[in-house]
Amino acid sequence: MLQISRLRHDQVDAAFPLMQSALPRLTLDEWRRYAATLDGKVADASAPRGIMVAAAPNGILRAAFTYAVERRGKDGQTLIVLNLVASHVALPVLGQELAIDSLAEGMRSLAQAHDCTSIIVMLPPEAAQEIDYFKSHGCEVAVSAAAGTLTPI
């Protein structure tokens, strides 16, 4: 099982190859600037955001996602998940279902910690298996071609 936690400052450079595997044009400087904007220190504490990572038992980062908590009308708070990246190594070694189960459990825990009543996962159209998985596990899925880029939140 993968261990899900918030990206620490000392892990930013270690997460770069993972993010670059999904975004080949991403530079280390761009990634560092992006990660710095999501360090959790936002002016509006009612709208938390950040980067979560999934580490294998040996500490190697195998997956990551960014998130923001937003108020959606009368429905309460919603966890918005963007930039979901899983290492090509994580899926075969751990099994796709186990890797995605770990990520989904991390999302549910994060949503619960922020009193969110729903989770929306942004995925690219070609992620058919992941789209089906998250839908079948109670998440709303927003399919967007922009989900394949490092989306600011």
pLDDT at 93: 46
CB burial of residue 145 (10 Å; 0-12, 13-18, 19+): exposed
Mean pLDDT of 135-153: 75
Mean pLDDT of 88-99: 53
Instruction: Check if the beta carbon of residue 99 is closer than 8 Å to that of residue 88.
Output: no
Q: Is the pLDDT score of 72 beyond 60?
A: yes
Q: Is the pTM of this model over 0.75?
A: yes
pLDDT at 84: 86
pLDDT tens digits for range 14-33:
999 988 888 888 899 999 99
